[in-house]
Structure formats: structure tokens, C-alpha cells
Amino acid sequence: GKAQIGVTGLAVMGRNLARNLARNGFRVALHNRSQARTDALVAEFGSEGEFVPSTDLAGFVESLEQPRKVIIMVKAGAPTDAVIDELVPLLAEGDIVVDAGNAHFADTRRREAALRDKGLHFVGSGVSGGEEGALNGPSIMPGGSPESYAALEPMLTKISAHVNGEPCCVHVGPDGAGHFVKMLHNGIEYADMQLIAEAYDLLRHALGLSPAELAEVFRDWNTGDLESFLIEITAEVLSQTDPTTGGAFVDIVLDQAEQKGTGRWTVQSALDLGIPVSGMAEAVFARSLSGDVVRREAAAGVLPGPGDVKADVDRDAFIDDVRHALYSSKLVAYAQGFDAIRAASDEYGWNIDLGAMATIWRGGCIIRARFLDRIKEAYDRNPELPSLLVDDYFRDAVASGQDAWRRVVATAATIGVPAPGFSAALSYYDGLRAERLPAALIQGLRDLFGAHTYKRVDREGSFHLEWSGDRSETTA
């Protein structure tokens, strides 16, 4: 019989997604530009379920029951457009094209509009969890029309990760909403990893703990509020020894972080929306700095630090302080991330259910964490919550840890260990709660040099001071 769904693009992600669908009882059509991948899948995993392989795209489309459901899982960017262009003339009205690759949401909006004009549904869907997730249950963030989601829902919710019986797959919203939320997930992942790295670095420098001892600290943290996949694998990486030297694995790894670009996309989009995502921005910048070998080499040993100052801290107390700093900074990063999602949802009319986004990320993806339940609960309490930080749980969590957080940032500055994530998060927190910000002075400066006008605290309207004249105030 005909296949219920098809996957074109059978590299690691597409192959595993196709296997996941087949293992869950769906009949899956297969296609890949170079046939070798299709043949390999059938040869190696053909017994896992019902596959319908095709050598060309026309045959692939022909093998699908109508309305057709095609998942594209190829390299993001131009290759995705090439596949769409080849596919579209072969499809019929009502067919559904799913792009499960890592597309930029603006591309997804463009593609969705173009296919809608042709009577086709285009679903840009975020898929997170890497190879392993694609096979055993990813976190799935589908955009597109409600009708297309209704048609896909039984399959997507079956193959997604589940937490407490609930699928980590929810219709995010129209057109690019799914890919936007996937992008934000990656941005938050950047921030999370940066904060973890700062906690490690500070503890190592301030206390002189070995990577193996630090692995124990993270293992312990993973039994509390910080419990998450990233903390768990941090313990694993820190306890690993290098097979060649027998020393700590982390010490033989070159300290230059790479990036594929989704963190940068997140920050660029947030800039466009006017939303401060300083946690993610500092994470992207920290990676850029780590890779800037020329300037690092020019500065190392040349720019003076604070000298051999010892952190004046008690071991166990400082470990607990850093735990608080990490958790509070992480809450800020998530609060900022959800602000960006809310702003995009308003800007593009997506009507995103913020609490539901936290449930999608509870399983299958890299940022899966116990504390995502707290985010869901916060939005259940108040769907109009202006910032996660003002929810009772988050407010109390930060309040109970803020003295520790301040001590950690101060210690980092004193001993000269970079902590851009911790300190930017704390500055954001203090800026958010400030009764009065120095923006008043900035407005004054702008009025002086550019007659940009200012507003007053005591009455309505815009005003300008005659700075080069008699300094009287005029109404703008």
C-alpha cells in the first residue's frame, strides 16, 4: 500500500526520524538525492518497520497516500529551497510539506507564504535532540496552519519524547513560529552552557578543585533544582580522563568553542525585536572571544590581572554560592528567552502559549530540565505574566540566592576570572528592578547634542531645552 508519510534527506537526522516513524508503526516513504543513503537505510534497518524506498522524487511523491505528508530533512538554506522547488510541481492541493531542518524562521515565513499561494501547507518544524533524539523521541516544535497540524499530530506526538505521559510536541503557531521557538531553544542552550562553564571555571580557580572533584559537585547539583541533562553531562565530561595522557579530558581540549550560528540568529532576532537577551548575547560573545586566537595571544601575559590574589572563601560555602549564582543567572536567561518569544508572538501574530513551550522542552532536547515544570506552573498561574522573574516561585528563588550571586560576581572580579554570563544576568536583574534608571541622563544628553527631546516625570508631552540659548524649555 501507499506510505502514510515520507522523508526526503536521509543523513543522520532524516534516517533516524524515518526509523522512529517506522518503529512506531507508520509506513514511511524514503528518498535521498544520492541513492546510496536510501539503500543503506533499507539494508541496515529495513526490518524495523515498513519502508517504501524510491530512487527519484517523482516516484517518492507517487508512493504517498493523499493528502501527502512529506518531511524534508536536508541541509538548511539553499538545499532546502532546491528540494522544495523540485517537490512543489509534483504535489497536489492540500498536501503538507514539513521542513524539519534548522531553518531560519524568516525563511520559513517566506516558504510558507509561497506554498500557501499554491494551495499547499508548509510546516516549519523545529526538531531538537540530535541524532539520538530523532531516533528515540525528539522535542518537536511545529509551526504552520492548524489544519496541517491536525493532520500531522497523531504521528508527531507518537514519535516525540514524552514526559509523564505527555508528548514533547505542541503546535507552536502559524508560519515561522515553530522555527522561531527552536531557535530560541538553541539560544537558551548557549546561555545554559556558558553559565555552567563559568561555574566550573570559578570553582576551579577560586578553590583549586580538580576536574574529578568538580564532577562530584555537578553530580550533587544534579539532585536539586538544577537537575538537567546539561548538568548531568557536565559531570560526565569532567570525570572523563584522556585516553592518551591519562590526565583530565577537559585539560587536553583546545579552549576555542565553535558555533553553527543559531545562537547568533537568536541574538540578532532579539535585537530586531528590541528584547534584551544579554545571557544569550554574552554566551555568543564568549564563544567568539574564545576563538579569537590573534587577540588572545597578543593579550595573554601582556595585559596585567589582579596578581596572585586568593579568593577569601570557605570551600563548601563558595560551592553553594556558585550554585545559587548559576541558578539565578539561568532563571534570568530563561526569562529573557521567554520575553523574546512573547515579543515575536506579538509582532507576527502567532498567539504562542508560553507555558506550553516549556512543556515541549521537558524531554527529548538538550535543555531538558526539571525546572521547566516551574515555568509551566508560572504561566498556568498567570498567562499574562510580564516576566518570569516576577512570578512568586522565581522571585523567591532569586531572592533566596541573590546575596550568594552578588558574592560570586564580586569574587570573580576580584580574582580576575571572566564571568560575563553571571554578571550580565545580575545587571539585568538589578536593571529590571530599579526604581529609576540612568536612562534619564541619556535622554538629557540626546536632547543636548541632537534635540531629540525628552519626556517629563510630572506632565505629558515631549520637551526640548534651548541648550545653546537661554535654556528655557519648549514643547516639542
How many distinct helices (H) and strands (E) make up the chain? Answer: 20, 12
Instruction: Tell me whether residue 444 is annotated as binding.
Output: no
Q: Tell me whether residue 100 is annotated as binding.
A: no
Measured distance CA(338)–CA(335) in Å, rounded? 5
The Cα–Cα gap between 189 and 283 comes to 9
Nearer to ligand NDP, 102 or 160 (CB): 102
Does the footprint of ligand NDP cover residue 258 (CB under 6 A)? no
Cell of 471: 535654556
- Give whole-number Cα distances, 114 to 88, 109, 157, 306, 462, in Å: 10, 9, 27, 58, 44
On whether the CB atoms of residues 333 and 429 are closer than 8 A, the answer is no
Q: Alpha helix locations (H) across 349-391?
A: 354-360, 372-381
3-class SS at 373? helix
DSSP class of residue 316 equals H
One-letter identity of residue 79: P
Ligand-binding site membership of 102 (annotated) = yes
**Residue number, 63 or 239, with CB nearest to ligand NDP:** 63
Nearest-CA neighbor of 421 among 405, 436, 433, 432? 405
Length in residues, the chain: 476
Alpha-carbon span 375 to 354, nearest angstrom: 9
Shortest distance, position 111 Cβ to ligand NDP, whole Å: 13
Q: Binding residue per annotation — 446?
A: yes
Instruction: Using the rule CB under 6 A, give the single segment among 29-37, 286-294, 348-356, 443-451 that binds ligand NDP.
Output: 29-37
Question: Does the annotation flag 14 for ligand binding?
Answer: yes
Q: Establish if 87 lies at the interface with ligand NDP (CB under 6 A).
A: no
> Interacting stretch for ligand NDP, rule CB under 6 A, among 8-16, 209-217, 373-381, 466-474?
8-16
Tell me if 412 contacts ligand NDP by CB under 6 A. Answer: no
Interface with ligand NDP (CB under 6 A), residue from 59, 79, 291, 444: 79
Is 128 annotated to bind ligand? yes
Other CB atoms within 10 Å distance of the CB of residue 464: 16
73 is a contact residue toward ligand NDP (CB under 6 A): yes
Rounded CA separation 96/143 (Å): 12
User: Is 9 a residue that touches ligand NDP (CB under 6 A)?
Assistant: yes
8 A C-beta contact, residue 196 and residue 322: no
Report if residue 32 touches ligand NDP, rule: CB under 6 A.
Answer: yes
Stretch of 72-80, 296-304, 325-333, 338-346 lying at the interface with ligand NDP (CB under 6 A): 72-80
Task: Work out which of 2, 44, 75, 210 binds ligand NDP, going by CB under 6 A.
Answer: 75
Single-letter amino acid code for the residue at 408: V
Between 261 and 349, name the residue whose CB sits nearer to ligand NDP. Answer: 261
Measured CA to CA, the distance from residue 136 to residue 268 in angstroms comes to: 32
- 3 state SS for 152-171: HHHHHHHHCCEECCEECECC
182 is catalytic: yes
**Cα-based distances in Å from 220 to 213, 223, 226, 326:** 11, 6, 10, 14
Residue 455 is among the residues annotated as catalytic for this protein: no
Our CB check for ligand NDP shows the closer of 239 and 262 to be 262
User: Which of 279/364 has CB closer to ligand NDP?
Assistant: 364
The contact mask relative to ligand NDP for 92-131 (x = CB under 6 A, - = no) is ---------xx------------------------x--xx
Active-site residue, selected from the candidate residues 112, 189, 198, 282: 189
Instruction: Report the residue number, 82 or 399, with the smaller CB distance to ligand NDP.
Output: 82
| Closer of 189 and 339 to ligand NDP (Cβ) | 189
Interface with ligand NDP includes 76 (CB under 6 A)? yes
- 136 is a contact residue toward ligand NDP (CB under 6 A): no
Distance CA 172, CA 160 (A): 15
- Residue 343 binds ligand NDP, judged by CB under 6 A: no
Measure the CA–CA gap between 385 and 25, rounded to whole angstroms: 41
CA atoms lying within 13 Å on the CB side of residue 50: 12
Q: Out of 65, 69, 112, 182, which one is annotated catalytic? A: 182
Q: Output the smallest distance, CB 144 to ligand NDP, in A.
A: 17
Separation between Cα atoms, residue 328 and residue 470, nearest integer Å: 50
Residue 34 lies near ligand NDP (rule: CB under 6 A): yes
Contact status: 81 vs ligand NDP (CB under 6 A): no
Residue type, 445: L
Secondary structure (3-state) at 260: coil
# chain residues binding ligand NDP, by CB under 6 A: 22
Q: Which residues are annotated as a binding site for substrate?
A: 102, 128-130, 185-186, 190, 260, 287, 446, 452
Q: Which residues are annotated as a binding site?
A: 9-14, 32-34, 74-76, 102, 128-130, 185-186, 190, 260, 287, 446, 452
- The residue ranges that bind ligand NDP (CB under 6 A) are 9-14, 32-34, 37, 73-76, 79, 82-83, 101-102, 127, 130-131
Catalytic residue annotation: 182, 189
Q: Which residues are annotated as a binding site for NADP(+)?
A: 9-14, 32-34, 74-76, 102
